[in-house]
Amino acid sequence: MDATLKNTVALVTGASSGIGAATARRLAAEGAAVALVARRGDRLDELAATIGDSALVVQADVTARDQAVGAVDRTIERFGRLDTVVNNAGIMLLGPALDASLDDWDRMVALNVQGLLYVTRAALPHLVRAAADSPRGVADLVNISSTAGRVARPGSSVYNLTKTGLVAFSDAVRQELIGQRVRVSVVEPGTVDTELTDHLGDGIREAAQRQTSSIEAMRPEDVADAIAYIVTRERRVAVNEMLVRAGDQT
């Protein structure tokens, strides 16, 4: 594989499982040093061991503002720069609004929105700097939305809210940063086989699994491929948005 991202540094949130872990592995294979951010340090250690010295484990809860900022700071301390940020950490808690748990809603907003904002705000000045002094002449912010960022469904209202909101946020920031050569992209995966549905309550989890049981889910590596495609483009190309559904998904 070409080391297109050689001498660059990436930070991936939610790197302890699923899409984030696959993305971290893939960016490392493309030559990037990678900061692995999530709460489960043991899982990050295991992943880092497979990547080697170019991986940095940063155990952090990005819903805590100081920890999100600290994750970016530690990446800069260790590697001196930051070229690629993948805001991937997210949670999906489904159920009808009528009797929804406000705690569930708080958790989704705290991670899918606020956590993403904290990491983004801390990272942006570093991305601008990296774009200015890198031979590639570009830096990337990739935010992971969902098909739920495009299509609202019953039972998914607040997940829809968070994933739709980040599409609008990303596009506004994208336009602001064009002159600084920081690309801002959104990836909207369809059904991917990860731990995402493990957090659903009994009953809702089974219903969600039944809904997708007739299709072959994507693998986390399929989404990592999409992300790698985006961040390895030459500076003249900007993939603003990528919707990647499972092949059988309507």
Is 14 a binding residue for ligand NDP by CB under 6 A? The answer is: yes
Is 142 a binding residue for ligand NDP by CB under 6 A? The answer is: no
Minimum Å gap between C-beta 196 and ligand NDP is 4
Active site residue 159: yes
- Decide: helix, strand or coil at residue 230: helix
> Rounded CA gap, 116 and 109, in Å?
10
Site string for ligand NDP, 214-243 (x = CB under 6 A): ------------------------------
The residue assigned the tokens 């989890």 is 205
Is 95 a binding residue for ligand NDP by CB under 6 A? The answer is: no
Smallest Cα–Cα separation from 173: which of 149, 139, 148? 139
| Region near ligand NDP per CB under 6 A, out of 38-46, 128-136, 175-183, 231-239 | 38-46
Smallest Cα–Cα separation from 194: which of 6, 16, 67? 16
Catalytic residue among 79, 105, 118, 159: 159
Helix (H) / strand (E) element for 48: namely helix 41-51
Restricted to residues 105-124, the positions that interact with ligand NDP (CB under 6 A) are: 111, 115
DSSP string, 166-179: HHHHHHHHHHHHGG
Residues interacting with ligand NDP, by CB under 6 A?
13-14, 16-20, 38-40, 43, 61-63, 88-92, 111, 115, 144, 146, 189, 191-192, 194-196
